[in-house]
Structure 1
Amino acid sequence: MNDLDTVRTSFDPSTTPPSVALAEAIAAIENVPITDLNQQLHDYIDTEALDELMDRSKEASVRFSIDQYDVRVNGDSVAVTC
């Protein structure tokens, strides 16, 4: 992808945890299977805390960085910009 490209994805929070949707979005950017990601999300964020926060509050919004990626998670969507 080129600089400042963004992948946005929606997910069903009742079946897909936000951390999984995030990993899938990064895998899409890197064009690799989710199992082949260079980044291990748990090295950057507490994935259980992210999932719990988003489960408790559908209005929650978080933003953070993972390597070269700017990540935003809102209710039922993930946006990853590189």
Structure 2
Amino acid sequence: MVGTDGGAVTVSRTYDPANRKPSVAVLGALADVKNTHPAALSLSLHDYVDADSLDRLLTRKRGATVSFPMDGYSVTVTPDEVVLSVA
């Protein structure tokens, strides 16, 4: 889903936590926004957040939310959704 909020563009992608790690979902959402394959991204998630810790936190804590900046986006991850926002 794509929306606008006060001039900012927001993209939301849901994912199935039983089949996809949150860290993989983040890279997938960013790749979707950039219209490319996740392997073609010229960045490493580890440059922005500890991917293993992100996965552990979001798979073990119901209701957890993690937010961080990444590649010009504000990223918010919950146990089943990734939201990318850019102004």
Tell me whether 1:14 sits opposite 2:37 in the alignment: no
Secondary structure in 2 aligned to 1:25? helix
Q: TM-score, normalized by length of structure 2? A: 0.85
Q: TM-score, normalized by length of structure 1? A: 0.90
Cα deviation for residue 58 of structure 1 reads: 1.9
How many residues align? The count is: 80
- Residue matched to 2:4: none
Structure whose residues are more often strand by fraction: 2
| Amino acid corresponding to residue 69 of structure 2 in structure 1 | S
- Residue matched to 2:83: 79
What is the RMSD of the two structures over their aligned residues, measured on CA atoms? 1.2
| Same amino acid, percent of matched pairs | 38
Poorly superposed stretches of 4+, deviation over 6 Å: none
Where does the alignment leave 5 or more consecutive residues of structure 1 unmatched? none
